[in-house]
Structure 1
Amino acid sequence: MTSLPGDPKSFYRAHIFVCTNERPENHPRGSCARKGSEKLRNYMKTRAKELGLVLEDGVRVNNAGCLERCELGPTIVIYPDAVWYRAETFADIDEILDVHVKQGGRVQRLMLKPEDGPDHSAKKK
């Protein structure tokens, strides 16, 4: 996504969305909530505050409804970078906060690529 002349500046330097969608147990696509995403989101919010990223650095951590990638979850997307991650542990969250949010890098081992997950080509037509 490209900014256009006249677009307002992003309200947050990093706006992090953690999928907390919950589907019924045994749903074929699974759900991020059933994979522990709520605990991960709560931990990420707490750690971001402890690290001074929230107030001092313009970072916001929110929950999100379905991000359409629950098979790969728990899923996280960080805007305005539009980088998607799969995080399963608190250590994964720490690494994302340190490498991506603080340092501006990427955690390659946790990144999701557009070709990962369900095929949405039919929706694009």
Structure 2
Amino acid sequence: MRFEKHVFICANQKAEGKPCCGEERGMELVKKFKQVLRDKGLQGKIRAQRAGCLDACEFGPALVIYPEGTYYGHVTTADVERIVEQHLLNNKVVTELELKY
């Protein structure tokens, strides 16, 4: 496996009037994760990328981290550093954001 961890961030767009992560800052999160991983020199170990629908629309923006399969919801750009430090680097779930999904 090339990457130790993989972060899939929903940036899906749905029809107008339906909740979706794309409307809720999904692409802002993708950019922020990529920036933080790059700043910490982690881009070869951890990958963050845009994903389609994760079926967690009501919790958007949502993301999932593999290989653990941990889902997070209502994530903001202010949460990214903490997710990187706590979960991606230290393998501790950020319980306040975790979705029991």
Shorter-chain TM-score range: over 0.9
Say which one has the larger Rg: 1
Q: Match of 2:92?
A: 105
What is the letter of the counterpart of residue 15 of structure 1?
H
> 1:104: how far off?
1.3
Q: Match of 1:51?
A: 40
> 1:25: how far off?
2.1
- The 1:87/1:12 distance shift into structure 2, 3 A limit, reads farther
Query: What TM-score comes out, normalization by structure 1 length?
Result: 0.76
Instruction: Say if 1:18 and 1:63, in contact at 8 Å, map to a contact too.
Output: yes
Q: Distance in 2 between matches of 1:38 and 1:62?
A: 9
Within the candidate set 4, 7, 10, 1:19 is matched to 10
5+ residue gaps, structure 2, are: none
Instruction: Say if 2:59 and 2:74, in contact at 8 Å, map to a contact too.
Output: no
3-state SS of 2:83 partner? helix
Aligned residues: 101
Q: Distance in 1 between matches of 2:75 and 2:7?
A: 16
Q: Match of 2:61?
A: 74
Q: Distance in 2 between matches of 1:23 and 1:34?
A: 8
Instruction: Say if 1:76 and 1:87, in contact at 8 Å, map to a contact too.
Output: no
CA-based RMSD? 1.1
